Structure 1
Amino acid sequence: MELLKQKIKEVGIVVNDDVIKLDAILNHAVDPVLTTAMGKEFARLYREENVTKIMTIESSGIPIAFAAAQELNVPMVFARRKKTLNTDTETYCERVPSFTKGMVTDIMVSREFLSETDRVVLIDDFIANGDAARGLIRIIRRSGATLLGLGIAVEKSFQAGGRTIRESGIRVESLVKIASLSGGSIEFE
């Protein structure tokens, strides 16, 4: 997706050979035009799959997932990272490490919002090692829902996440693939 590549070139800050900071468009601020375009592209890629639900994980995936859900006219649900006083006690829960946060967190989805009749597309902002995606995949499988595939805004293809999920037979559609961040330079596939 050329618009996303252009924005990454404009605002991306290479922190080191493994990390790129995209706060200006994905992780702290939201670019509505770009986010809408990403949602439309994911909807185009999955439109023929009879999607009934878009799923993501809080928080940075929510705007893109919302845009895709709106374009497909289906509900969006997100996995929560924190329990609150009114968190449903009937949840699917998984422990997942976070590459960027450097810690393990619990993610949970209320059983009320995911059922065996759902046909789900996972949408997220980044995939690096794929741990969050694998946690969501386990939740979807435990619910009995059908996983149609993943939609990833930015795949760091020099890390194993996208590749290993594809190798397990799951469809992964990435709008942009970053092949390298070496030497402070962003190299796209």
Structure 2
Amino acid sequence: MESLKRRILQEGIVCSEQVLKLDSLLNHQVDPAVILEAGRAFAALFKDEQLTKIVTIESSGISVAFATACELGVPLLFARRKKTLTTDEDVYCERVPSFTKGIVTDIMISRQFLGPDDRVAVIDDIIANGDAARGVLRIIEKSGATLAGMGVVVEKSFQAGARTLREQGVRVESLVKIKSLADGKIELE
């Protein structure tokens, strides 16, 4: 993923020592070539896991999770953040804080689509503190599904999210690790 690293260094905007904006390729505008390459990379990492589904959280993770699901030939399931008129009432639900949005939201997955017969990988765009990831992992645990691991395009390794998940025994695969955003500069591992 050297091309992704180059793009992050060229196009990433450091908003603070905690926040990196990747709007030109991942979070607002999506670069299909980057997304497809990431999907192939995650598919290769999880190819032997006999997955039945890829799970992600609405919304920025959907494109890369979709690319991964396509490569593996399995359905994509995403945790919704908002109820709609058609939202199933029989859902697994967790309250999670959003680091980038600065709010607490509910995430939900219909019980119809996730259960004990499923073996899943969670795919997401960025992990910072890991609150959203922990929320979706709690939903997976409630459902009885088996978690094979988690893949993230960008890990901010200077924040605790991925590290604490690994300490809990969760397999976390990161395509790019950011060591620091200090002094307005992106430093990769």
TM-score (norm 1): 0.99
Look up the SS of the partner of 2:126 in the other structure. Answer: strand
Question: 1:132-151, aligned counterparts within 5 Å?
Answer: 132-151=132-151
Structure 1 consecutive aligned stretches of length 4 or more whose deviation exceeds 4 Å = none
In structure 2, the residue matched to 1:52 is 52
Unpaired segments ≥5 residues, structure 2: none
Instruction: Report the Cα distance in structure 2 between the residues aligned to 1:75 and 1:84, rounded to whole angstroms.
Output: 21
* Cα deviation code 1:97-125 (max 9, x no counterpart): 00000010000000111011111000000
Partner of 1:166: 166
The residue number in structure 1 matching 2:39 is: 39
What's the secondary structure of 1:24's corresponding residue? helix
Counterpart position of 2:131: 131
Q: Post-superposition shift, 1:13?
A: 0.3
Question: What do the CA deviations read for 1:113-163 (whole angstroms, capped 9, x no partner)?
Answer: 101111100000000000000000000000000000000000000000000
Structure 2 Cα separation of the partners of residues 42 and 112 of structure 1: 26
> What amino acid is aligned across from residue 12 of structure 1 in structure 2?
G
* C-alpha distance after superposition, 1:33-62 (max 9, x if no partner): 010000000000000110110000010000
- Aligned residue pairs total 189
Partner of 1:9: 9
TM-score by length of 2: 0.99
Secondary structure of 2:129's aligned partner: coil
> C-alpha deviations, 1:51-95, integer Å up to 9, x for none?
110000010000000000000000000000000111100000000
Q: Percent identity?
A: 65
The residue number in structure 2 matching 1:100 is 100
Distance (whole Å) between structure 2 residues aligned to residue 34 and residue 127 of structure 1: 18
Counterpart-to-counterpart distance in 2, 1:95 and 1:150: 20
Inter-partner Cα distance in structure 1 for 2:153 and 2:187:
16
Q: Per the alignment, in what secondary structure is the counterpart of residue 49 of structure 1?
A: coil
Counterpart amino acid of residue 163 in structure 2: R
Q: Separation in 1 of the partners of 2:4 and 2:172?
A: 17
Q: In the alignment, what sits opposite 1:185?
A: 185
Deviation at 1:187, TM superposition (A): 0.3
1:110-125 superposed matches below 5 A: 110-125=110-125
Q: Which amino acid aligns with 2:58?
A: E
* CA-CA distance at 1:3 after TM superposition: 1.5
* Residue pairs, 1:22-101, within 5 angstroms: 22-101=22-101
2: CA distance, partners of 1:104 / 1:180: 26
Equivalent AA in structure 2 for residue 95 of structure 1: R
